[in-house]
Amino acid sequence: MALPKTNPTTTQAWNKLLAHYKNTKDNHLRELFAEDSDRGKKFTLLWNDFLVDYSKNRITQETLSLLLQLADEVGLKEAISGYYEGALINQTEGRAVLHTALRAKKDDKVYVDGQNVIPEVYEVKEKIKAFSGSIISGEKKGYTNKAFTDVVNIGIGGSDLGPAMVTEALKFYKNHLKTHFVSNVDGDHVREIVKELNPETTLFVIVSKTFTTQETLSNALTIKKWFLNAASEKDIAKHFAAVSTNTKKIKEFGIDNENVFPMWDWVGGRFSLWSAVGLSIALAVGADNFDELLSGANEMDVHFKETPFSENIPVILALLSVWYNNFYGAETEAIIPYTQYLSRFSAYLQQGIMESNGKSVDRSGNRTGYETGTIIWGEPGTNSQHAFFQLIHQGTKLIPTDFIGFKESLHGETDHHNKLMANFFAQTEALMNGKTADEVKEELEKQNLSEEELQALLPFKIFEGNKPTNTILIKKLTARTLGSLISLYEHKIFIQGIIWNIFSYDQWGVELGKQLAKNILSDIENSDIGKHDSSTLNLLHFFKN
Ligand code: F6P
């Protein structure tokens, strides 16, 4: 099944949304809440341990109905079937997109080229379990017969960001193994990491879907050299593992067959943490927690697949994002987790969302002519409040923001958690309500200011409010709820790609820079510099001399 090729702007819903936008764009959230005391509940979804409150958005029931109509008109339902059933929806690379199969139940059946891939997925899961178990327990030892103390994940992009984000997010559940991530081709990065390591007790996991990525191979070779300063060639078998589709290249690197973990071309790099790419997650928190992560993701997969769109969390969040991106002209979205554990969550989603939906050519090969992928950014609250929230509150840009918080703190620091969550709730309320001139005046009048002083200060203290937010409130940060949360955003990516009529699962845009870097590397390493524009030439001369 090929994906439909509907230009969203030609649908009836789009045109109705345009008119609806003109009629409602000046509505203030404060008024919408005043008109309907039940608004909070009406626009809230409850699912498992999640509460998703999307009431603080510039929408009415009519907005929602029109957005849902848009989803129907672009064929979202049929597209979801294709997505789950292994249709080649990554059309420009001729591949299926089946990260959902990686967390499917054991008796599920998902076919690729007529073959059910679930038994193979479970075989690899068993291998991850056995391998990580034997490293954690100390049964598998290093070349001097010492148990492992450190794990280094060598990878970049999807082969780094997912595992790095999840191991940080699940730090509370971590065992004694210290995990490190080397990604940048910057030699100072790898040097800073190995500086603290003991080769006798360190396990290296090379993760590269293609096993051709310059950064990863350079880092792997540098680390291999560093390791061989202390150990011998035969010891590589004990200290290096690899995850890749490219088994030939892994062999050439000298990695023992027993430590080779396959992956499949129907899993995109940025959606691969659920596969053996997540080996360092299993090593850090154990295979049971890794399983829980997958189960949580699977629960969200089932919710997305089976729930009517009007109560479907990924669908609602994706449609709201389209509403701001395409009708309000909002260019960015902030994602603010109120837990330090999710400090890498926005960085992780930047790849997921921006590499997927940063496209300007539609599924028919034409320029879209309308906006597509949003810019994603964010940092944990409350730090972000003391950094960039000023701009969200009083700047000129509209920045729809997701607030992610948890009912329980993991260490049980109730006093801290209450303060943290007080900020969490206060921010969305403040962003929604703002502060009117009358309210500011009343406040200033209590400060014994002269009328002149009061009038001078007044305009700066007004908050327009009407800033849209979603609140995702989750019972507790566990491997399971984290799996559901990540899966939620993955599906949001898919839905938006369908609506924008683009291919979300290729990444040709990353290629050009890679190709040019190869040529420039030879300019740097050889005496002659090839043909370049005058700026690049000047820069290269300055760098070389
Ligand atoms: O950034 C481009 C990209 O191809 C990503 O999609 C991928 O996650 C990353 O490079 C790493 O690729 P590989 O796993 O093949 O080394």
pLDDT tens digits along 131-156: 999 999 999 999 999 999 999 999 99
Query: What is the pLDDT at residue 531?
Result: 94
* Same domain as 497, residue 371: yes
pTM over cut 0.90:
yes
The residue whose C-alpha atom lies closest to atom 6 belonging to ligand 1 is 269
Mark whether 396 and 463 lie in a shared domain: no
Inside any domain, residue 209: yes
Q: What residue's CA is closest to ligand 1, atom 16?
A: 208
User: Pick from 290, 325, 346: which residue ends a domain?
Assistant: 290
DSSP classification of residue 4: P
- Whether residues 407 and 320 share a domain: the answer is yes
Q: Is the separation of the CB atoms in 256 and 237 below 8 Å?
A: yes
Q: Enumerate long-range contacts of 358-365, CB under 8 Å, 24 or more apart.
A: 358/509, 359/500, 359/502, 359/503, 359/504, 359/509, 361/502, 362/5, 362/7, 362/500, 362/501, 362/502, 363/3, 363/5, 363/91, 363/501, 363/502, 363/503, 364/5, 364/501
Catalytic (active-site) positions: 355, 386, 514
For residues 154 and 257, membership in a common domain is answered with yes
Per the domain annotation, does 357 fall within a domain? Answer: yes
DSSP codes of every residue in 95-114: B---GGGGGS-TT---EETT
Q: Which of 290, 321, 344 is the last residue of a domain?
A: 290
- 339 within some domain: yes
Ligand 1 atom nearest to CA at 269: 8
N- to C-terminal Cα distance for the chain? 57
Q: Residue 301: inside a domain, yes or no?
A: no
Q: How far apart are CA 9 and CA 47, in angstroms?
A: 32
- For ligand 1, pick from 92, 156, 217 the residue to mutate: most ligand atoms within 8 Å of CB: 156
Confidence (pLDDT) at 188: 98
- Ligand 1 pocket, CB under 6 A: 156-159, 208-210, 213, 216, 269-270, 355, 507, 510
Residue 159 CA, ligand 1 centroid: distance in Å: 7
Does residue 350 sit in the same domain as residue 403? yes
Same structural domain for residues 155 and 193? Answer: yes
Interval between CA 35 and ligand 1 midpoint (Å): 49
Distance of CA 60 from the midpoint of ligand 1 (Å): 41
Residue ranges making up the domain that contains 452: 434-467
Considering the domain architecture, whether residues 201 and 134 belong to the same structural domain is answered as yes
With respect to residue 68, please indicate whether it lies within any of the assigned structural domains.
yes
Q: Total structural domains in the chain?
A: 4
Q: 115 in a domain, yes or no?
A: no
CA of 244, closest atom in ligand 1: 14
For the CA of 156, the nearest atom of ligand 1 = 11
Are 486 and 375 in a shared domain? yes
Nearest residue to 322 via CA among 494, 126, 106: 494
- Collapse the DSSP code of 203 into the 3-class scheme (helix H, G, I; strand E, B; otherwise coil) and give the result: strand
Which residues does the chain have with pLDDT short of 70? Answer: none
How far is the centre of ligand 1, averaged over its atoms, from the C-alpha of 269 (Å)?
6
**Residue 155 and residue 283 in one domain:** yes
Judge whether 192 lies within some domain: yes
Q: What is the CATH number of the domain that holds 346?
A: 3.40.50.10490
Q: Which residues pair with 111 in a beta bridge?
A: 116
Are residues 357 and 490 located together in one domain of the fold?
Answer: yes
Phi/psi at 95 (5° precision)? -130, 155
Q: What are the tens digits of pLDDT across the range 73-84?
A: 999 999 999 999
* CA 234 / ligand 1 centre spacing (Å): 29
Question: Could you tell me the two tokens for 383?
Answer: 């730090």
From 184, 206, 507, mutation site for ligand 1 pocket: most ligand atoms within 8 A of C-beta: 507
pLDDT tens sequence across 465-476: 999 999 999 999
Q: Which of 17, 12, 11 is nearest to 60 (CA)?
A: 17
pLDDT at position 384 is 98
Confidence at residue 254, expressed as pLDDT on a 0 to 100 scale: 87
Determine the atom of ligand 1 nearest the C-alpha atom of 159.
Answer: 14
Residues 379 and 444 in one domain: no
Report the pLDDT value the prediction gives residue 333, as an integer from 0 to 100.
Answer: 98
Residue 100 located in a structural domain: no
* pLDDT for the residue numbered 27: 96
- The β-bridge partners of 405 are 473
pLDDT of 251: 87
Q: Angle at which helices 76-85 and 479-499 pack, to 10 degrees?
A: 130
Choose the final residue of a domain: 257, 290, 323: 290
Does 409 lie in the same domain as 370?
Answer: yes
Interhelix angle 187-194/214-228, nearest 10 degrees = 40
